A and B are shown apart, each in its own frame.
Chain A
Amino acid sequence: MFETIPLTHILIVSTLMFFIGVFGFLVRRNLITILMSVELILNSVNINFIAINKFLYPERLEGLMFSIFVVAVAAAEAAVAIAIIINIYRRFSSINVEDVSEMKG
């Protein structure tokens, strides 16, 4: 049966995925790839919610509902972020974070 997989293994997988996303967020210098790392982070959080809901409280809905809301917020965030990125590209002809320093004092 599937229940033989310990919950800790799933949580470890999602932890590793989260910190791979953090690594990408720190190391990348391009706005779109930074956005991709944020999507990886949100996705690993979703796996966590679903796994805890499935293995600890299978008769309830909290984790599932919460991850659906996370997906909706991620969609809103991606739409606004990409609008901002396109606007930055139009203004600076580059989306490298080091080139966009207009607001630095």
Chain B
Amino acid sequence: MKEVLFYLFAGLLLLFSILTVSSRKILRAAVFLLFSLVLTAALYFLWDYLFMASVQLMLYAGGIMVLIVFSVLLTHNIDHKFDPMEFKKIIFSALLSLVGAVTVIYVILSHPFKTSALAAAPISPEDIGRGFLSYGENGYILPFEVISILLLAAMIGAIVIAKKTTK
């Protein structure tokens, strides 16, 4: 059952990713991006990473999508349609990404992954919280603090940049 769900989600994920980069209406592209982010959260739910799935839903599908839709509505007419892209540019970009994808897939297929035999206990939010705040082994207090300073700087920077300059 879970295999079927995985392949279904993976197929839909790739389909919506392609539609995100190829749709000619910008609001539609944003909705397709939302679908692919929600499908990613569904994959995390399948793998029992509940905390990560909820972070994905709240931050990506909630926060970032609201920001993107806001900026689309502030800068575009709602039924604005892009001009069709240049054929030469499409061919070059497709070729470049195809070569990259083939190289990476070749490397993945030629590397033997030893899957762990350990039965995976589901990771509880308590473990994650203790990991964030501990400074011993397997502690992440330094990156946690760095990220909080980065978020503060990004918040102040976004306000300063987007502020209307008064003359």
List chain A positions with a Cβ less than 8 A from chain B.
1-5, 7-13, 15-24, 26-30, 32-33, 35-37, 39-40, 43, 46-47, 50-51, 54-61, 64-65, 67-69, 71-80, 82-87, 89-90, 95
Q: How far is the CB of A51 from chain B (nearest CB, A)?
A: 8
Whether B100 pairs with A79 at a CB distance below 8 angstroms is: no
Contact of A59 with B55 in the complex, beta carbons under 8 Å? no
How far does the alpha carbon of A16 sit from the alpha carbon of B154 in the complex, in Å? 30
Contact present for A59 and B29 (CB under 8 Å): no
> 7 A-B residue contacts at CB 8 Å?
A2-B6, A36-B29, A40-B21, A59-B120, A61-B123, A65-B143, A78-B64
Which among B36, B49, B90 is the interface contact of A40 at CB below 8 angstroms?
Answer: B36
Cα A30 to Cα B27 in complex, Å, equals 13
For chain B residues 79-108, which have a beta carbon within 8 Å of chain A?
82, 85, 89-90, 92-94, 96-98, 100-101, 104-105, 108
Decide: A5 near B33, CB < 8 A? Known: A40-B21, A85-B75: no
- Minimal Cβ-Cβ distance residue in B for A84: B161
Count contacts between A and B, CB distance < 8 Å: 220
Task: Assess whether A16 is in contact with B115, with CB atoms less than 8 Å apart.
Answer: no
Say yes or no: B43 contacts A30, CB within 8 Å. no
- The answer, yes or no, to whether B2 is at the interface (CB within 8 Å) is yes
* B105 near A15: Cβ-Cβ < 8 Å: yes
Do residues B2 and A2 form an inter-chain contact, with CB atoms below 8 A? yes
Q: Which residue of B lies closest to A51 (CB)?
A: B47
Residues of A within 8 Å of B85, CB to CB, are: 27-29
Q: How far does the alpha carbon of A74 sit from the alpha carbon of B109 in the complex, in Å?
A: 29
Contacts of A76 in B (CB 8 A): 150-151, 153-154
A15 close to B108 (CB less than 8 A): yes
Q: Which residue of A lies closest to B1 (CB)?
A: A2
Contact pattern, B 143-167, Cβ under 8 Å of A = 1, otherwise 0? 1000100110111011101101000
- Do residues A56 and B40 form an inter-chain contact, with CB atoms below 8 A? no
- For B105, list chain A residues within 8 Å (CB): 12, 15
Considering the chains assembled together, what is the distance between the CA atoms of A54 and B148 in angstroms?
27
In the complex, the answer to whether A89 meets B161 with C-beta atoms within 8 Å is: no
Closest Cβ of chain B to A21, distance in Å, is 7
Q: Is the CB of A15 within 8 A of B101?
A: yes
**A61-B138 in contact given A15-B108, A76-B151 (Cβ < 8 Å):** yes
Task: Say whether A95 contacts B75, CB under 8 Å.
Answer: yes
Query: Are B162 and A86 in touch, CB under 8 angstroms?
Result: yes
Report A-chain residues with C-beta under 8 Å of the C-beta of B155: 79
